[in-house]
A = this chain, B = another copy of it.
Amino acid sequence: MNYNQYARLDLPLTQQLDELKQLDFISENYNKLSFSNNIYTAFSNFFPEVTSSEGLDYKFNLLAINSKETLKDWLIDDQSSLSNSEFYALALQLLNYEANQDFDLSDPIQLMKNNQLPFITDATIDDSNFSSALYLLLNTRAKNGFELIDNLADKGFFLKYIENPNFNQHLFFNGKALPVFDAQNMIREVVYIESDLDTDLDGKRDLLQATVFRPKETDFGLKVPSLYTANPYFGGTNDDKDDLHNVDENLTAVTAENQPSFKKASINTFEKTTPDSKNAQSAEELATRQRIYRLNDYFFARGFANVYAGGFGTRGSDGLRNTGDPSETICAKEIIEWLTGDRIAYTSPARTKTTTAFWSNHHIAMTGKSYLGTLATAVASTGVKGLKTIISEAAISSWYDYYRENGLVIAPDACQGEDCDALAVVCQSNLKDSGHAIKLQEQFDKQLAYLQEQQDRTTGQYSEFWEIRNYRHQLKKLNCSYIGVHGLNDWNVKPKNAYKLWQELEKLPIKHKLFLHQGEHIYMNNLASIDFTNMMNLWLSEELLDQPNNAYNQWPNVLVQDNVKPDTWHGETTWHNNLGEKQSQVLSELASEKIKQFTDNGQTFKKLNLDAKHWENEFIKGELSELASEQIKIRLPQNESESILVGRPKVNLSVASSMNKGQLSVMLVDYQKRHRLSIVPQIIEMNAQPLGYQFAYETLREFKPQTQSTDFKLIAKGHANLQNYQGKQAVNINPDEFYDLSFELQPTYYCLPKDSQLGLIIYSTDVGMTKRPLEQTTYTIDLTQSSFDYSIK
C-alpha cells in the first residue's frame, strides 16, 4: 500500500525542536543528556497509558530492536546510538506494524520503502540526528493511515491537556491542530435561528433549528471556529413515501404549446433585524441527534465546533422544502450569520429569549457530501461574511445537471423517477411531528404542486426554474477558498457538476483545490492511499485558526486517483480537455457501413427481467439479441501505448428519428479483460482511526483490484433530446430527416492501458436514467457525418 502523504510540512530544525519540547518528546536540556536518556524520554511518550516506570519497562520489553534484543535490554547499557535498522524496527512497531508478520526485524527499510514511508538514511541514529528522525516519525502515517502523533490520542497522550483546566487553547504540531479537546464531554445544544423568510406563509419568520456541538472549553472563554454542515437529512427522512414519477411513458414532442412558464415560489420576506447580545441567554435545549460525519468528529477533538442544520421544512424547523431554490441557500447562509453575530437566535420556538454563538471565533468552514456539499457551494456563492472555505464533496453545481440533461429528464443513479418534488417530500421531516403535520400538510401539498408544475417533466428544457438553481451562474460574490471532491465513478451526482464548477472557479481570485477519487457517491476522508484528513487539518488550521502553514502550496491543484494502478495519485494543474491533445474520429472510418440503424423498444429490460444495473451490464456486453438490436456499437483502434483520456469527450451525430421526437444516449466504454479497481472502497480495518480520546473511530478503506477480471467498464455517458440537444430551446423535427446533434459526455480522467480499446455505444433508452417509451422508435445515424472528439494525454 502506498501511504501517499501531502500534509507533512518540512520545517526548520529549530521549529521541530520547539515542537518536540512542547510535547515533552525531548527535554529542554536534551543536548546535555545521554542518547539513551533521550530515547527513554521520547519513547515513554509512546506509552501514555502506563503511569509507572515498571509498566514502562514492560512496554519497552515488548519492543524488539532486532531478533535478540528488546528496547529494555538495549537501555540497560548506556549506548550512544541505534543502527538505522534498529531504529526503524522500533519505528514500524510504533506505527503498528507487526514484526515477522508485516516486516522482517532485520530489514525494516524494505517495508518503509514499499509503503512510501519517509525515513532518514544515516547508518546510525544518535544524538546528531535523533530529534529530526523522531520528528519525522511522529509525522509519518501509521498502518491505520493516521500520523503517529494522531494515533497517540486514543492512548491518552493528550489527556494532560484535556484534563488540565488551565490549558484552554488550540495546540499545533507540524502546522496542524492536535486533539487536545475533551470530545467525550462535549456541549450539545439546540438553538432556533430567525430567518428573514416565511416559506410556510404563516405570517411569521421561519425559525431554523441548529444543533451545536462545541468543546466545553468554550464555556471558559475559548473561541473556536465551526465546521458547519447544512444537512437536509439531519432531521430524518421520509423514506417510505412513494413519490417517484412513472418513467414508463412515451416522450412528448416539444411544441410552442408546452413550453414552461416560470413562477417564483411564494415566500414572505422580512427585513433583517439586528441582534442584541446584551440579554442573551444560554441555550435551553440539549441536542439529542447523532453526529453524522467522521471528518467533523475528527476536527471536534481538535477544537472545531460542529454545527448541523437541516433548513426549512426539516424536523424542528419551520417552513417548506423547495429543492434547490434560492430560499434554501438563504436559510443555509443564515446559520452562518448567527455564528458571526449577525443574526438573532432563540432558545426555543417561543421566541422569548435570544441566545448567541458567544463561543464562535467567526471563522466557518462548510462540509458535507451530495445535497450537503451542494448547499456549501450554494452558501459560498453568497459571499457571506465568516465563511472562509468549503469542503464540498460530490456536490451538485446546477440542479439541471442533477435531474436533467440536454433537454431530457435524466435520473441520478439508482433514483429513477426522482425529481425536485420527490426530494422535497424526502426532506420535509417536520411533518414527522404530528403537531406540525396537522397544521402544515395543506401548505406543503401546495408546495408540491408548485414544484411539480415548475420542474416540468414534459419538455426537459432549461428554464428560469433551473437557472435560479444553477450556482455556477451566481459566483460573482464568492470569496472563500474551495476544496472540491468528486468520485469519477459517481453516477448519482455526475462528475460534470464538479467539472463545470471547477472551470468557473478557476476564473476567480480564490484558492481552490480538487480531488478526484475512484469511488462512486462517497466521502473520501478514510482512504489509505492519501492523507486527506490530515490535508484538511492543514487547510483548516490555516483558514480557520490563522496558522500560517502555507497549506495551499503543499499539493497540486488537482489530485486524481489512478484507475489502473492501485493507491496512486496524479497531480495536475487543472481538469480540462486542454490537459491533453485533441483527437477526432469520423465514425464511418471505424465501421464497415456508412449508415447504421437501430430500433428502440423502451421496455425491453422488462421482458428480460433485468433491473437497471444488470440491464446496463448486459447492454454493454451485447450478447442478447434483444439488446444488440437496440444499439450501434463502434470500436476505436486498440491503444498501442498507455495514455490518459482527459476532460469531456464529445459526440457529433447526424441522426434521423422515425418520429417527430426522440432521445439519444451514448456510452463510452473501455474494452479490455483485466482486474479493475472496485468502485466501492474495501474495508481494510474497521474502526481503525481514533478521532480523539475515547471518542469516535473511522474505518480505513481503499479501492483494490477486484478478485474477478472484467471485460469492459463504462467510462462516461451522455444523453440528448433530438429536439433540444443543448437543453436550451426545443426545435421541431420531422420524422426520418437527418439532424446534427453535438453533446458532451461526462468528464473523466481515465488511464487507458496498452491494448485497451475505446468503444462507443449509441442507443436510446437508458433504463436507469431516461424515460422508457412504450412505443418503438427507429434511429438512423449517418456515420459519415458523425464524429467523436476527445483529448488524450
Contacts and interface: CB of A to CB of B under 8 A. Distances in A.
A67 B101 contact: no
Given A64-B438, A67-B438, A433-B62, A350 B286 contact: no
A641 interface: no
A58 interface: yes
A58 B350 CA distance: 7
Contacts of A238: 101
Given A238-B101, A350-B58, A435 B64 contact: yes
B285 A100 contact: no
A285 B55 contact: yes
A337 interface: no
A284 B55 contact: yes
B100 A434 contact: yes
Nearest to A55: B348
Contacts of A350: 52, 54-55, 57-58
Contact of A64 (B67, B70, B287, B434): B434
Interface string A46-76: 0011111011011011111001111110000
A294 interface: no
Contact of A437 (B99, B155, B290, B434): B99
Nearest to A352: B54
A347 interface: yes
Contact of A51 (B89, B185, B285): B285
Interface in A599-621: none
Nearest to A100: B437
Interface string A414-443: 000000000000000001111111100000
Contacts of A50: 284-286, 348
A107 to B, nearest CB: 14
Interface string A21-55: 00000000000000000000000000011111011
Nearest to A281: B52
A286 B49 contact: yes
A57 B435 CA distance: 12
A78 interface: no
Given A156-B288, A434-B99, A348 B64 contact: no
A64 B437 contact: yes
A497 to B, nearest CB: 28
A70 B435 contact: yes
A585 interface: no
Contacts of A69: 438
A329 B352 CA distance: 65
Interface string A182-194: 0011001010000
Interface in A159-190: 184-185, 188, 190
5 contacts: A49-B190, A58-B350, A60-B435, A63-B435, A105-B438
Nearest to A687: B290
Interface of A: 48-52, 54-55, 57-58, 60-64, 67-72, 89, 93, 98-101, 105, 154-156, 184-185, 188, 190, 238, 240-241, 284-288, 290, 347-350, 352-353, 431-438, 687, 694, 697
Contacts of A62: 433-436
B435 A54 contact: no
Contacts of A433: 62-63
A93 B284 CA distance: 23
Contacts of A436: 62
Given A185-B185, A284-B51, A288-B49, A58 B348 contact: yes
A240 B143 CA distance: 15
Given A55-B349, A105-B438, A184-B185, 13 more contacts: A52-B347, A52-B348, A52-B350, A54-B348, A54-B349, A57-B350, A63-B435, A64-B437, A69-B438, A98-B432, A100-B431, A101-B238, A105-B434
A94 B71 CA distance: 59
A435 B154 CA distance: 23
Contacts of A352: 54
B349 A58 contact: yes
A348 B240 CA distance: 56
B434 A93 contact: yes
A101 B287 CA distance: 25
A188 B432 CA distance: 40
A61 B290 contact: no
Contacts of A71: 435
Nearest to A285: B50
Nearest to A101: B240
Nearest to A58: B349
A71 B435 CA distance: 8
Nearest to A236: B98
A100 B68 CA distance: 71
